[in-house]
Amino acid sequence: MFETLQEKLGRAFKLLSGKGRISEKNIEEAVRQVRLSLLEADVNYKVVKEFTSEVVDKALGEEVLRSFSPDQQFIKIVRDELIRVLGGKSARLELSSSPAGIVLVGLQGTGKTTTCAKLAYKLKSQGKKPLLVAADVYRPAAIDQLEQLGRQMGIAVCSGDRKNPLKIVRQGMEDASRNVNDVIVFDTAGRLHIDEQMMTEVREIVSVVKPDEILMIVDSMMGQDAVNSARKFNDALELSGFVVTKLDGDARGGVILSIRHVTGKPVKFVGTSEKVDGLEVFHPDRLVGRILGMGDVLSLVDKLQEKVDTDKARELEEKFMKNKFDLEDFLVQLRELKKMGSLADILEMVPGMPKDVDVVGGEKNIARTEAIINSMTSGERKNPRIIDYSRKQRIARGSGTTVVEVNKVLKSFDQMKGMFKKMGKKGKLLKGLKGMPF
């Protein structure tokens, strides 16, 4: 469903890889790509505008660790911002009355009746005793449809006099108290377009039921229209949330991003098939992970951000800049790397990392390198050039290694120095480190 969005965003991120730092100039094109990809995915243009300006602000601000590469920083910002637009955490049903009432509203054909059945089915599987109330008397066979679904699932359906919606609703409430149902799901009528008569009827139902939840069913295939009707329904009824249906089809999915932003109300569930079990609790973070299709990179960024000591990294960056980096600092860097936990775990998450990298050997090497540097005098660490053959022999003995291994460490150190000198810019410390042949 989000394939195009995913592909486009991927391209936007690539624009930044290899760039030294995020700057106003170099994120311009990436942001433009993000904007286009969201618009193409059917996200409302106002939402897109606010979204991208927020991303620019954050990208140019100092909120993200400078030790990440610009594309990593940018991906993280876009990810966090997407999750924020989608409402952060997943929102649950809040059912406190007994029996609790859930009224489903929305335009015709969006999936109200189907979602009533799905919700009742879900509640039943959670140990509740739901009652379905069929209050759509206009659509031919709407009541039959719900009765049939109810029979399939072994859930009672109240259809009252099959004529008067308010009477059916009251009947439903009586039935529920007699049968000790703990939750009632009300199906209501929709029209092809929003009209006063429909709104009045729904409002009346709401005032009788005093529901815990008023959920609007939104068809993801409706694109921008869905946003407008969501806004109108929310103004008229004070919705508690949305269910976005037909996400299993080829809808571009942008609706889901727009409605929360436009109404401030959460998407609580998404419909993913025609069947009664095709209803999922909506998890913003998982959706975003899927949209970006780079869950691995993101968890890597999270992991690094958690473990790296920012101040130390900055201090080192400064040393690099002034070319004062010595073996003492090299040792600090090694310890920093070790602190990140299993190097194997981290390297596995790096896309494109060859699988034959001897990661475990890498970790052992860190310990050995540490031992070698520990065996040096402080003068040697500050100025490795004084380390001649006899010093190397002494260091090898002291660290239980060989001269060959001491040479390797010195070579790694030289390479690292050279690499950072070449990069000449701040902000790529960790990236550089990961390329080291430890």
Ligand X SMILES: Nc1nc2c(ncn2[C@@H]2O[C@H](COP(=O)(O)OP(=O)(O)O)[C@@H](O)[C@H]2O)c(=O)[nH]1
Name the residues that contact Mg ion, by CB under 5 A.
112-113, 136, 142
CB 41 to Mg ion: min, Å: 28
**H helices within 190-269, ranges in order?**
196-209, 224-237, 254-263
Mention every residue, 6+ apart, whose C-beta is less than 8 A from residue 141: none
CB 188 to ligand X: min, Å: 9
Which of 3, 7, 238, 274 is close enough to bind ligand X by CB under 6 A?
A: 274
Q: Does the footprint of ligand X cover residue 271 (CB under 6 A)?
A: yes
Mention every residue, 6+ apart, whose C-beta is less than 8 A from residue 209: 101, 103, 169, 173, 184, 186
305 vs 97: CA distance, rounded Å: 44
CB 136 to Mg ion: min, Å: 5
Which of 112/252 has CB closer to Mg ion? 112
Per CB under 6 A, the segment of 245-253, 305-313, 396-404, 430-438 that binds ligand X is: 245-253
Q: For tokens 């815990």, what's the residue?
A: 212
219 vs 369: CA distance, rounded Å: 60
Edge-first strand listing for the sheet containing 267-271? 157-158, 130-135, 183-188, 100-105, 213-219, 241-245, 267-271, 279-281
Which of 253/271 has CB closer to Mg ion? 271
DSSP annotation of 211 reads -
Cβ burial of 373 (10 Å; 0-12, 13-18, 19+) is: buried
DSSP annotation of 400 reads T
Residues within window 187-206 making contact with ligand X, judged by CB under 6 A: 190
Residues within window 90-149 making contact with ligand X, judged by CB under 6 A: 106, 108-114
Q: Does the footprint of ligand X cover residue 229 (CB under 6 A)?
A: no
What number of chain residues touch ligand X (CB under 6 A)?
19
CB 83 to ligand X: min, Å: 23
Which of 278/384 has CB closer to ligand X? 278
| Closest alpha carbon to 144 in 124, 165, 162, 167 | 162
CB 35 to ligand X: min, Å: 29
Which of 115/401 has CB closer to ligand X? 115
Which of 50, 147, 175, 248 is close enough to bind ligand X by CB under 6 A?
A: 248
Q: Write the DSSP assignment of 373-428 as a string of letters.
A: HHTS-HHHHH-GGG--HHHHHHHHHHHT--HHHHHHHHHHHHHHHHHHHHH-SSS-
CB 308 to ligand X: min, Å: 43
**Exposure of 394 in the CB half-sphere (CA atoms within 13 A):** 10
168 vs 74: CA distance, rounded Å: 54
Which of 70, 254, 278, 432 is close enough to bind ligand X by CB under 6 A?
A: 278
Which of 70/190 has CB closer to ligand X? 190
Q: What is the x/- site pattern for ligand X, positions 203-222, by CB under 6 A?
A: --------------x-----
CB 271 to ligand X: min, Å: 3
Q: Is 279:120 a contact under the CB 8 Å cutoff?
A: no
Which of 111/253 has CB closer to ligand X? 111
CB 119 to Mg ion: min, Å: 13
Which of 106/427 has CB closer to ligand X? 106
By beta-carbon distance, which residue lies closest to ligand X? Answer: 271
Cβ burial of 163 (10 Å; 0-12, 13-18, 19+) is: exposed
- Which of the choices Mg ion, ligand X, none does residue 246 contact, using the CB cut-off of 5 to 8 A by kind? ligand X
- Which of the choices ligand X, Mg ion, none does residue 111 contact, using the CB cut-off of 5 to 8 A by kind? ligand X
**Exposure of 137 in the CB half-sphere (CA atoms within 13 A):** 16
Q: For tokens 């095709």, what's the residue?
A: 278
Which of 37/188 has CB closer to Mg ion? 188
Q: Does the footprint of ligand X cover residue 295 (CB under 6 A)?
A: no
CB 241 to ligand X: min, Å: 16
CB 118 to ligand X: min, Å: 8
Q: Is the peptide bond before 99 cis (omega within 30 degrees of 0)?
A: yes
CB atoms < 10 A from the CB of 174, how many?
A: 11
User: What does the binding site for ligand X look like in residue numbers (CB under 6 A)?
Assistant: 106, 108-114, 190, 217, 245-246, 248-249, 271-274, 278
